[in-house]
Structure 1
Amino acid sequence: MSENVHRRQGSPAALVASLFGIAGRSVLPGPAVVALLGDLGLAPAAARRALARMREAGQLTTVRRGRVVDHHLAGAFGASVLRLRDDRGRAPSWDGAFHALLHQVPESARPYRDRLRRAAVLVGYGPWQPGVLISPVDRSAALRDVLADAPPEATVVLGRLRPDDGSVPAVAGEGPPSGTALAAAMARRAWTLDELADDLRVHVARLTALTDSPVPTDGADALRRLSDGTGPVYVDLLRDPGLPTELLPDDWPGDDLRRQLGRVVEAFLPTVVAHVHGRIAGRDEA
């Protein structure tokens, strides 16, 4: 794997996330994860260091089972992996209000403030302004552990934010509710939708080219090709909160991307899943 591809995929954590997604499990045996990361270009020592850092960061927990250590998805990281795995592109309905996470954290507790913001963005909240994060749906359950760690000097409030542009409320059946245009503008800013749309269109073109190429018959080669081709896509899909249709810009490429991603996964998955499950079976008692 080239250095540029590795960097675009984000980090070893992104590779680990893809392995959990491909395997369709929330628990994987440690030896299998190390072997699969080896298929993706990480030496065993580097893979073990990456897993240790993820445990320290609360992204994974471990449970010993005989001689084997099982890795479990945890925290906001685990929630983000499950969100991508279960994403079917179905837009939520828009009832006129965002779910909001409001926080006031003093500079003395800055590490907590940074942790809260990172976790919230990871699970799908968008930063609207300092101290205010918004989401089209309630994602606070994925932040349970972070919210429980709030220091005494911090204030964190969950609520609803209903944009109101001052227009006359719409009558049923006669158009969108008051504030929809303002909400769309807020979403455009919070999730930098114009920039994200450009990135997703680039991914559509790259996935189309990948679909037109033959699938390697070797499982490890197929896993590398799939990871190289889709890893950057999933990194950017984490930036997509799954907005209601009313709040999306015109010509939003999300549906095109998911269709093309589905074609790639459908083509590669039989070979890759067989390889991943073979690694798991071969290393489960190692």
Structure 2
Amino acid sequence: MSSLTPLDHLIERFQQQTPIRASSLIITLYGDAIEPRGGTVWLGSLIQLLEPMGINERLIRTSIFRLTKENWLTAEKVGRRSYYSLTGTGRRRFEKAFKRVYAANPPAWDGSWCLAVLTQLPQDKRKQVREELEWQGFGAISPGVLGCPRCDRADINATLQDLGAQEETILFETTAQDVLASKALRAQVRESWKIDELASHYSEFIQLFRPLWQVLKDQDSLDPKACFLARVLLIHEYRKLLLRDPQLPDELLPGDWEGRAARQLCRNLYRLIQGPAEQWLEAAMETADGPLPAVSEGFYKRFGGLG
């Protein structure tokens, strides 16, 4: 356990999950900490890093085996040691999932929409396409129509092509509007994207991590190991929230939207602890060639710049 009560509380909360989501936490660790440093690490280093989280060696090995079977990770043996890296597919999944986490503030919205009509899709494929588009920020306007106020058309086309649904999905794009959010549109957004439920999750995130921020920001020196554990849990919990968040424009959200405060808290806490956490990673992790490579330049662009 650490010497920080708020961090102890977060670790205990993670350990009380049934079952412990070790595989998901390992993906967070790879995406947040290992990928910016070459993407490969010795299994023993992973065990050392995650044991303070209450994940024993057996569970880590089982989780790594499962992630390898699911084509997230690939293994390379050097002597008696195993080194694990993200696969090409795993890296693409990571980039897609984590792009939202570290993004700077989204661009201004001009009032345009993208509409996806799924009525020509077979029923079994329609469900699959709906789930994937909802993950990318679409909401159900009606049973066969999804809408998104801010989307990347190239990403949507790539997704539909991967699902073999491009020829059977109808896409429309509306023009920019002067009136961005009428009363009726706000009501539709609340209904289609379950805004109130998401707000409650953001509120819980703030209640969990604000005490940690308040303790750490007043300390003269920060413990590298504690900062690493805090950073992994911070990004792990925030990533899970963003998987549910359609990232709607401010014009469509309530004035007191909890997502804004949660993002500010996550950014401020990450900026505070990332330096000491990197020190701990350098000391605790190794590759087949020895110490981890230097962190990539892209790492320092996270959250609009880490400074």
User: TM-score normalized by structure 1?
Assistant: 0.72
| Shift in CA distance, 127/105, structure 1 to aligned 2, threshold 3 Å | same
Q: Is 1:283 the equivalent of 2:300?
A: no
1:133 Cα offset (Å):
3.5
Residues 153-209 of structure 1: CA deviation (Å, up to 9, x unaligned): x9642513549xxxxx97xxxx515x7444433332232112212322332233221
Of 26, 29, 38, 2:40 maps to 29
1:274 Cα offset (Å):
1.8
| Long gaps (5+) in structure 1 | 164-168
Partner of 1:18: 28
Partner of 1:43: 56
Percent identity reads: 19
| Shift in CA distance, 278/143, structure 1 to aligned 2, threshold 3 Å | farther
Partner of 1:166: none
- Distance in 2 separating the partners of 1:77 and 1:123: 14
SS across alignment from 1:25: helix
| Long gaps (5+) in structure 2 | 1-10, 291-307
Q: Is 1:196 the equivalent of 2:201?
A: no
| Shift in CA distance, 218/126, structure 1 to aligned 2, threshold 3 Å | same
Partner of 2:7: none
- Distance in 2 separating the partners of 1:200 and 1:265: 17
Query: Is the 8 Å Cα contact of residues 15 and 53 (structure 2) preserved in structure 1?
Result: no
Partner of 2:270: 265
- Distance in 2 separating the partners of 1:279 and 1:144: 42
Partner of 2:112: 96
Query: Is the 8 Å Cα contact of residues 100 and 160 (structure 1) preserved in structure 2?
Result: yes
Q: Which amino acid aligns with 1:138?
A: C
- Give the aligned CA root-mean-square deviation in angstroms: 4.0
Residues 6-25 of structure 1: CA deviation (Å, up to 9, x unaligned): 64999334423432224562
User: TM-score normalized by structure 2?
Assistant: 0.68
Q: Is 1:62 the equivalent of 2:74?
A: yes
Query: Is the 8 Å Cα contact of residues 62 and 69 (structure 1) preserved in structure 2?
Result: yes
- Distance in 1 separating the partners of 2:186 and 2:241: 20
Partner of 1:226: 231
SS across alignment from 1:100: strand
Q: Kindly tell me the number of residue pairs found equivalent between the two proteins.
A: 269
Partner of 2:169: 157
| Shift in CA distance, 138/43, structure 1 to aligned 2, threshold 3 Å | same
